[in-house]
A and B are shown apart, each in its own frame.
Chain A
Amino acid sequence: MSGSAGFDRRQFLKVAGGVVAVAGGMAWAGRVLEPIAASAAAGPPDLYFAGTDGWIYLPPTPTIPPYHPDVLAPNPFTTYIFGFRNVSGMTDTQRQNQKNKAQHSAPLFWVNQFDPAHPVDFTVQLTNLGLALRPDLFDAHTLHWHGFRNVIPFFDGEPTGSVSVPAGRNFTYVYRPRDPGTYMYHCHVEDVEHVHMGMTGLVFVRPLQDGNTTLYPSGKYLYNDGDGSTGFDREFAMFLSEVWAEAHWADAHIQLPEWSDYRADFSMINGRVYPDTIAPNGSIDPFNPQYDANGDLVAPAGHEQLQYQPHSSLVTCNAGERVALRFANLGFREQAMTITGIRMRVVGRDATLMRGRDGTDTAYGTDTVNVGPGESYDVVFTAPAYQGPGEYDTYFLYNRAFARANNLAPGGFGGAATEIHVYPNGVPAQAYPNDWGI
């Protein structure tokens, strides 16, 4: 166990980052260690995700020469990414076809709080399709559920303390989520790179209190609040991430960025910049995924460039309804998410109801939610009365750090911004989070 010949410090750093196994480890092809018998491995996983590379679209002007748009990008895309895809239910061929077809942000998914009275494990199988543009990297991937309490290293996805998934292999993560709230997930291999390159998404846990229509008529809650204060009629995930064009270009062009030069050229909500954020959803219900015969994502109608950015951020609601927004930030900078004309109430933070240990209510109202890297915030607001005269009233949700709400283009909004449309009535119920209902 003491340091042996040939194991130098650089290799230690690499291993600590999970890039490669120690010399010999990966090349070994001798006796296969027998798997340990499982108690309940039967049946397909609840979700099956794949890690790979791909391309997304960000506004090509203003250009950031030579980094943006990337000259290697196939039309209509601009930006190289690493990302996840939901390959649940696909045939083997369809799944293999998804190499180089990653999406950003990663598939939004959710889980019911683990109920000891009716114990059901939630499983996510992860495979690694490899990187089509960078086969030289042979990076492993993992799924790290950021904020999951009392995780064991085996299911944490931090590669140094456990294992990670090389190309062509699989690993199944098992979760018993005992704490409702908003979390995020990402690949933790070489996470400076893999997180920034786009292997990031939002996950949340529904509370056991759900279904109680006494505390709030909808029976839908953010937390087990006991008083209905986190009840809502509609919910929207607002996943925040960033693109530093040089870093994405560097990965496509076999270069290394100097990370201490980091800057956010683009700030996104749910993987898009405004006004793409208000374009329709693609297929985003993770438990009912839709794809074409090849397994590929289907672009929202009229938005071919958003084929691999399926999540809309447009908030639609009826006047008087309570709307929940789940913010999570896996960018590297603090975001200042502001709504004009509507007061938000912060009821949860980092998957914790805003209460002191003695039950003291620490929820608060605000116009701006400052979300640091790796933080999550749960807010609710009540949609104001309809003013008219249009079909709906429009409110703006944007990043108060203005440089991150303009796509670097002067004189206009872009970046991490979206709209809230308040109708007088008639918006049907949501089928899934971020569903417009209309």
Chain B
Amino acid sequence: MITNGGANQARTRAPRGRRATWIVTAAVAALLAAASVATPAAADAPPRVGIVCTTSTAGSPGQPVFDLTTTTGYISLPDGNTAFMWGYSNGFDSFQHPGPVLCVNEGDVVTVILHNTFAEPVSVMFPGQTGVLADGVPAAPELDGSGVMTSLTPTAPAGGGTVTYTFTAANPGTYLYESGTNPEKQVRMGLFGALIVRPTLGADYAYDRADSKFTPSEEFMVLLSEIDPYQHQAVEEGRSFNMNTYHPRYWLINGRGFPDSIADNGASWLPTQPYGALASVYSYDATDHPDPGLARYLNVGTEDYPFHPHGNNGTVIARDGRPLEGPGGEDLSFEKFAINIGPGQTWDVLFKWYDAESYDPVTNPVPVTVPSLANQVIGVFYSGSPYLGTQEALPPGTQSLNQCGEYYIISHNHALYQITSWGVTMTGPITYMRINPPTPNNCG
């Protein structure tokens, strides 16, 4: 788990210039880390990119046990603002946003113990799971004495109460977990996270279908959410909030806005936002890299988010934790260049990038005169060269974060007013797919 910082620490802000230097430095550091993404056994050593799985450290094989504790904290937003948040933290750790990515295996009997530190009841819903028990009895909605529903699922009482949920993770896939209590407040404040159920077929499959195989080092999460800062301020100050005035001003990917979104998992300057969104991949190779990557999309917001990965269509193989297949096992998957994911949905998308033209500076140059760089505006991720794995000199004074001739191909929400942060455009739910040059390369 990410343990930097803490809710009890005073949140101090470095002077802007200094902090900005960290960000740029760390962005480079992130790029230096075309790391493999093996799921860490040790919870305090996250991979630098890719999904950070939280696995059970209690229970017994096939019977994982997780403790989740409600906490409060702050997250950093791309315009320099901060937002007060609620969160589920892993075990008894300090605040993080979003909640830990819980990874279990198909067939596991999963136990989640919720510890409530708040002054109001809270709960955890597990959409997509069936037969959920709360303290040993079926998890039914809570009613007050007059029959009015007060929670979609049994709660942990205010002020130190607990509730224990158990269910069998019967179906592999990608799921949300989120508060079922006062959700228009509690979910928006941050009481949500992702649950991944790995199939019996193997950890390099998304489902129990041979055509769901993926490259384990290229598994990524795209968890999309939104924030109305006035609601968060009202909760922080203990005031009521008129839900009719709800109006998101921030949109996030994995709890971060661009450019923080492409920083490392566990980046030190984002102590409460442990999950990066940079996708670091290699191009398709029939021998060395035949399997696609897997992007697990989740929408915890209130409207459709049309997420657009440049570079290649993805193949949508599942929604809401069920593979897209017919009654006879027919493949009903479909390709998309806009992943138009609805509220509460999860989509699993296989993707790969082919070096289709194999452009090469010597043997197969791009069929056009490459213009002088002095005549172009140069992007900060550009290598100076059209060619994968090649870098060229840039005009003096030009800053480049390109490391070794790798490609950067953007992915972003295409409801473009949502890639802003309360006035700062080109932020929010944006990330990149980094195409690493074939090995051996100079990427270190």
Contact = CB atoms under 8 A, between A and B. Distances in A.
Interface of A: 1-4, 7-10, 12-13, 15-18, 20-30, 32-41, 121, 123, 140, 144, 146-147, 149-156, 158-166, 169-172, 174, 176, 178, 190-193, 195-196, 256, 258-260, 262, 332-334, 349-352, 354, 356-358, 360, 362, 372-375
A161 B382 contact: yes
A156 B381 CA distance: 13
B240 interface: no
Interface string B225-259: 00000000000000000000001110000000011
A162 B386 CA distance: 8
Nearest to A357: B331
A12 B20 contact: yes
A397 B354 CA distance: 39
A32 B374 contact: yes
B417 A374 contact: no
A248 to B, nearest CB: 14
B20 A8 contact: yes
B258 A171 contact: no
A147 B16 contact: no
Which 3 A/B pairs are nearest by Cβ-Cβ distance?
Answer: A24-B397, A9-B20, A3-B24
B378 A25 contact: yes
B331 A350 contact: no
Contacts of A146: 308, 337
A13 B78 CA distance: 9
A172 B366 CA distance: 11
A39 B361 CA distance: 10
Interface of B: 16-17, 19-25, 28, 78, 80, 211, 247-249, 258-259, 304, 306, 308, 310-313, 315, 324, 326, 330-338, 340, 353-357, 359, 361, 365-382, 386, 388, 392-401, 403, 407-410, 414-420, 422-427, 432
B24 A2 contact: yes
A162 to B, nearest CB: 5
Name the residue among B354, B395, B396 with the largest chain A CB count within 10 angstroms.
Answer: B395
Name the residue among B333, B336, B353, B426 with the largest chain A CB count within 10 angstroms.
Answer: B426
A20 B221 CA distance: 31
Contacts of A16: 258-259, 380, 426
Contact of A165 (B25, B368, B376, B379): B376
Contacts of B418: 260, 332
A268 B408 CA distance: 33
Contacts of B416: 191-192, 195-196, 259, 332, 373
Given A24-B397, A164-B377, A3 B415 contact: no
Contacts of A178: 356
Contact of A259 (B17, B356, B425): B425
B376 A169 contact: yes
Contacts of B395: 25, 28, 30, 33
Contact of B392 (A13, A33, A354, A362): A33
B439 to A, nearest CB: 19
Contact of B399 (A4, A174, A256, A332): A4
Given A33-B372, A33-B395, A334-B304, A154 B366 contact: yes
Nearest to A179: B313
Contacts of B247: 260
Interface of A is mostly: loop
B162 to A, nearest CB: 38
Contact of A29 (B21, B374, B381): B374
A33 B378 CA distance: 13
7 contacts: A21-B398, A25-B394, A28-B374, A36-B370, A169-B376, A332-B415, A374-B340
A149 B356 contact: yes
Contact of A192 (B313, B403, B417): B417
A374 B78 CA distance: 24
A192 to B, nearest CB: 4
A38 B372 CA distance: 13
A404 to B, nearest CB: 14
Contacts of B427: 13
Nearest to A353: B335
A354 B334 CA distance: 7
A15 B377 CA distance: 10
B17 to A, nearest CB: 5
A147 B337 CA distance: 6
Name the residue among A4, A152, A158, A170 with the largest chain B CB count within 10 angstroms.
Answer: A152
B294 to A, nearest CB: 15
A126 to B, nearest CB: 11
Contacts of A192: 416-417, 419-420, 425-426
Contact of B355 (A150, A159, A169, A332): A150
A22 B372 contact: no
Given A9-B20, A27-B397, 7 more contacts: A12-B20, A25-B377, A147-B313, A169-B376, A176-B356, A357-B333, A362-B332
Nearest to A37: B365
A358 B209 CA distance: 13
B378 A21 contact: yes
Contacts of A169: 371, 375-376
B336 A349 contact: yes
Contacts of A152: 355, 357, 359, 386, 388, 407
Given A1-B28, A375-B338, A260 B249 contact: yes
Contacts of A158: 310, 379, 409-410
A35 B396 contact: no
Contacts of B248: 260
A162 B372 contact: no
A140 B371 CA distance: 15
A253 B369 CA distance: 39
Given A161-B408, A164-B379, A358-B331, A374 B306 contact: yes
A162 B394 CA distance: 12
Contacts of B335: 350, 352
B312 A256 contact: no
A33 B423 contact: no
A163 B377 contact: yes
Contacts of A29: 374
